[in-house]
Amino acid sequence: MTELGQALVFGVLAGSVYGLMATGLTLTFGVMKIVNMAQGALLIFSAYLCYTLWARFGIDPLLGGFIVTVPLAVLGVVLYKLVIQRVQRIDQGLTIVATFALALIAEAAIALAWGPNPAAATPRYFNQAFRIGSLTVPRAQFYTCLLAVGVTLALQAILKRTWLGHAITAAAENPEGARLVGVEPARVGAWIFAIATASTAFGGAAISFLYQFTPDSQDVWIGLTLSVIVLGGLGSVPGAFAAGLLLGVAEAITSTYISVRWAAAVPTLPILVALLIRPQGLLARATRQDTGT
Amino acid sequence: MTSNLVRRAVITLALAALAGIPLVSDDLYYQSVLMLTFMLAIGASGWNIMGGYAGYISLGNSAFIGLGAYTTGILAAKQGVSPFVGCLAGGLVAGLAAAFLSLVTRRTRGVYFVIVTFAALELLGVAATTWSGVTGGSQGLALPLPTWSMAYQNWPFYYPLLGLLVLTVAVSAAVRRGKLGLGLFAIADDEDKASGLGLRTAVYKMNAFVLAGTFTGIAGGIYAYYVAFLNVAAVFDIVTSMLIVLAALLGGRGTVWGPVLGAFIIEPLANLTSTSLGGADAGAIRLLLFGGLLGAVVLFLPRGVLPTVTGYCRRRQAPRRVPTRPAPAGAAGAAVPAHGPRQDGDPHGDVADDVLEACGLVKAFGGLRAVDGADLAVAAGRVTGLIGPNGSGKTTLFNLIDGTVRATSGQVVLAGQRIGRLGRPARAHAGLARTYQLPRLFGSLTVVENIVIPERRLSFARLWRHRVTAAERARAIAMLAELGLAPYADTSPAELSFGQRKLVELAQVRWLDPVVVLLDEPAAGISPALAERLADTIRSLAQRGTGVLLVEHDLPFLARLCQRVYVMANGKIIASGTAAQVSADRAVVDAYLGDEVALASAEPAP
């Protein structure tokens, strides 16, 4: 019983972070129908930035995450303006190839800047834990879980309650209509990329002290975040959070009861299953499909 | 003609040179570079069948190399099977995996396929590492070493790979020339429309991806024997997938020779960089180089080298290839009998059987009931009209009948067969066809190809027949002549006017020899002369026993064609009868609010 309880605690803590990491990806897909294959590289990039802030200046990685949002937002806008917007004009279907190329370029650039060796920040609390009864709650994971919930709620509030959020939703559902009422989809696109990459900074901060990472770990993280958004229904922020929790728990239970090595297969297996059985994701709603024709 | 000869001469010479190189030079390094190039060319040509022809981009095709290599390796190491036999098993396994992955495209489009291929590659990598009892796991897997004399150098690997490359390109060319390719290009253009014309798109895509998987898998098997040692990171490598995509895009996706050309550019470059770059950063620099190259190709050369070059040459040779003959107005070409006019149903009798019945069709989008219990019947050999204000649910009703949208409840019966649960291709096979308000022709096919593409049943032998057989061409030209469009037979539909495209779409529908045709505002936005030709075509459709359901706002147009008219408002059928009867109906006039004048001017049906 304790073993299961412990697996659930670990699973929920890790899963909330998975949800956080995938928010950027699900936002760009939901609004712009772009799968940003560079999401993993962006996560690793912000992890290295947080790591460097911690190693050089002793800035706590959680705080570092907030600082890193600024350069990442700028990077997001630059990528959108320089690459994405152009490729969209050439062939929408090629945007995924372009972002895949960006991921490889970013991985190479990170390797050149930081070297190929594994890195991990070790703030004071990284191996401390709270104890609740017989359950262990690692402090680092607990803090990132709080951060994940906070950021997801904040993003949800932006999308549902602000003018920008409404503009984003409008541009997503009907670009022509949005243009008619003065919402320029291209400008909204820049905002979306800024928000998506900025939110990635928090995911990177979490990676920087929860996991060891190398430049090529981007491959693992893009696989995991893709899995999260496929399960959650492409485009849905709450869906991504729920799917993240589900994956985290599934992974924890697999490592507890089957094998740690097979736990590595947990993120990718659901992609195949979900897409074969329920391609619209776990939490997607039915929408009109005939408006496009 | 001469350019064809030149092309053949170049290909023959290149092939002879490649076959001769190992005989005249015993430089093993160059042989190995060439073999890797063949591998990449096989991988890229295979990728191109799905990614280039059908437009389904895969980022996981190196998984097939891995599957082929590991199948061959395991069979050789554990069962003592010769790798030259084992590689065929490798191809089979990779082909089966491709068939399985292609199932994902049954209900989803575009990005989902990319994600699934990527995930499959990751998953197979994890499985190969973890399932160490069979695969050797992270220790790697050693294959038995070749036993032949060193005097043969790499020939036993070189020639099979070269042969496999020739075979892959030949098959890719055959696909492109055949009905399979025609369907794949149509899928890339407009998959919904293709399935509405009876193409079992899932089968087309599965065929394409299985071909890609099989050839790539066999190549992986030969490669396994050549390197004699397998490790997971080397064969299930995302970078190899990237090189496959890069080669195909750089050379020109959708062409037969582009991916081969791309491979012959990329692989030597990859070898050059891996031998000339040293030090800890070498891997990163290569990644930067190829990632950058992929990005640059997408941004600056999205069509690829081959189409860009041939396009340039063609523009220089022939300024424009527009039909010079003027389209003869009202050219009443020979009637089009070839297709066995339907004899069932008596078009001139007073009583006609209903061939299409919709009973209580409902479609709810959340709280909105776009179609709210619609009943209607279409008689064989008659034209039935459907009118209603914008937003009354006419197009949604069409979508429910043809299966674009699944009904919330209700039933559709076509010629006695319940089709409400069938997919779109199955409905087309049962004899249902439709046109669209804005014509949807396949832009990468010619006008004739557009007309002959519909199919009433799936046959695997047919997929390998020529895109347009001589008989089909003769019939299609006759149909075009009847519409006054014969000179446009071999042009792109983009060169036709809006109204001409509507006529071609109607011809496309007629090719299906349908039992019932749904026409969505055929006369809207076209010239009166074309509308007249269109009315003739609709009448001749009905005369051959086809039931026609016609959505139209132009009531006089309807009145001349239709014996029965249904009126729809707010998702319900509110009236039916002759055009004169419904235009006199108070409820109908209310529904239209102010269109009273137009309704009143409608003439009674003849």
List, for residues B206-248, the tens digit of each pLDDT value.
999 999 999 999 999 999 988 888 888 888 888 899 999 999 9
Q: Which residues of chain B have pLDDT under 70?
A: 1-2, 318-352, 593-606
Q: What pTM does this model have?
A: 0.88
Rounded to a whole number, what is the distance in Å from the CA of A121 to chain B's nearest CA? 23
Residue A282: what pLDDT? Answer: 57
Contacts of B249 in chain A (CB under 8 A): 97
Residue B593: what pLDDT? Answer: 55
Does residue A290 sit within a domain? no
Q: Which residue of chain B comes nearest to A268, CA vs CA?
A: B119
Strand partners, B294: none
Q: B 417-456 residues with CB below 8 A of A?
A: 436
Return the DSSP state at B484: T
Count: domains in chain A: 1
* Cα–Cα distance measured from residue B479 to residue B334, given in angstroms and rounded to the nearest whole number: 8
Q: Which residue of chain B comes nearest to A85, CA vs CA?
A: B299
Q: B 543-602 residues with CB below 8 A of A?
A: none
Residue B603: what pLDDT? Answer: 47
Residue B298: what pLDDT? Answer: 92
Alpha-carbon separation of residue B270 from A37, B248, B263, B287, B557 (angstroms):
23, 15, 10, 10, 66
Cβ–Cβ < 8 Å for B193, B449: no
Contacts of B299 in chain A (CB under 8 A): 83, 86-87, 90, 98
Least confident of A87-91, A128-132, B455-459, B536-540: A128-132
> Starting from the edge strand earliest in sequence, which strands make up the sheet with B417-418, in order?
B368-379, B354-365, B409-414, B417-418
Rounded to a whole number, what is the distance in Å from the CA of B112 to chain A's nearest CA? 7
Kindly tell me if the per-residue pLDDT of A1 is higher than 70.
no
Q: How many CB pairs under 8 A join A and B?
A: 148
Taking CB atoms and an 8 Å limit, are A87 and B298 in contact across chains?
yes
Does residue A276 sit within a domain? yes
Q: What is the pLDDT of residues B176-201, one digit of tens each?
A: 999 999 999 999 999 999 999 999 99
Residue B491: what pLDDT? Answer: 93
Contacts of B365 in chain A (CB under 8 A): 286-288
Most confident by average pLDDT, A88-102, A138-152, B176-190, B331-345:
B176-190
Rounded to a whole number, what is the distance in Å from the CA of B13 to chain A's nearest CA? 35
End-to-end CA distance of chain B: 56
Does residue A242 sit within a domain? yes
Contacts of A275 in chain B (CB under 8 A): 104, 108, 112, 115-116
Taking CB atoms and an 8 Å limit, are B280 and A33 in contact across chains?
no
Which of A262, A268, A280, A287 is best to mutate for the B interface (most B CBs within 10 A)?
A: A268
Rounded to a whole number, what is the distance in Å from the CA of A134 to chain B's nearest CA? 32
Instruction: For chain B, list the domains and their CATH numbers.
Output: 27-238 (no CATH), 354-600 (3.40.50.300)
Does residue A273 sit within a domain? yes
Torsion angle of C-alpha atoms A172, A174, A179, A185, degrees rounded to 10? 20
Residue B601: what pLDDT? Answer: 47
Contacts of B366 in chain A (CB under 8 A): 286
Q: Return the SS3 of A8.
A: helix
Taking CB atoms and an 8 Å limit, are B114 and A96 in contact across chains?
yes
Tokens encoding B143: 């294959």
Contacts of A271 in chain B (CB under 8 A): 115-116, 119
Which of A36, A90, A95, A100 is best to mutate for the B interface (most B CBs within 10 A)?
A: A100
Pick the more confident residue, A50 or B155.
A50
Does residue A131 sit within a domain? no
Rounded to a whole number, what is the distance in Å from the CA of A41 to chain B's nearest CA? 13
- Residue A97 pLDDT level (bands cut at 50, 70, 90): very high
Measured in residues, chain A has a length of: 293
| CATH number for position A92 | 1.10.3470
Taking CB atoms and an 8 Å limit, are B104 and A276 in contact across chains?
yes
Tokens encoding B182: 């025609």
Cβ–Cβ < 8 Å for B67, B217: yes
Average pLDDT, chain A: 85
Whether B118 and chain A come into contact, CB under 8 Å, resolves to yes
- Per-residue b or e along A103-133, where b marks 16 or more CB atoms closer than 10 Å to that residue's CB: bbbbbbbbbbebeeeebbbebeeeeeeeeee
Pick the more confident residue, B167 or A128.
B167
Kindly tell me if the per-residue pLDDT of A288 is higher than 60.
no
* Cα–Cα distance measured from residue B78 to residue B88, given in angstroms and rounded to the nearest whole number: 17
Parent domain of A269: 2-125+137-284
Whether B391 and chain A come into contact, CB under 8 Å, resolves to no
Taking CB atoms and an 8 Å limit, are A83 and B299 in contact across chains?
yes
Pick the more confident residue, A29 or B600.
A29
Taking CB atoms and an 8 Å limit, are A101 and B294 in contact across chains?
yes
Does residue A209 sit within a domain? yes
Kindly tell me if the per-residue pLDDT of A290 is higher than 60.
no
Cα radius of gyration (chain A): 19
Q: Which residue of chain B comes nearest to A86, CA vs CA?
A: B299
Does residue A289 sit within a domain? no
Cα radius of gyration (chain B): 29
Q: Which residue of chain B comes nearest to A110, CA vs CA?
A: B284
Taking CB atoms and an 8 Å limit, are A287 and B299 in contact across chains?
no
Does residue A143 sit within a domain? yes
Rounded to a whole number, what is the distance in Å from the CA of A269 to chain B's nearest CA? 7
Residue A229: what pLDDT? Answer: 86
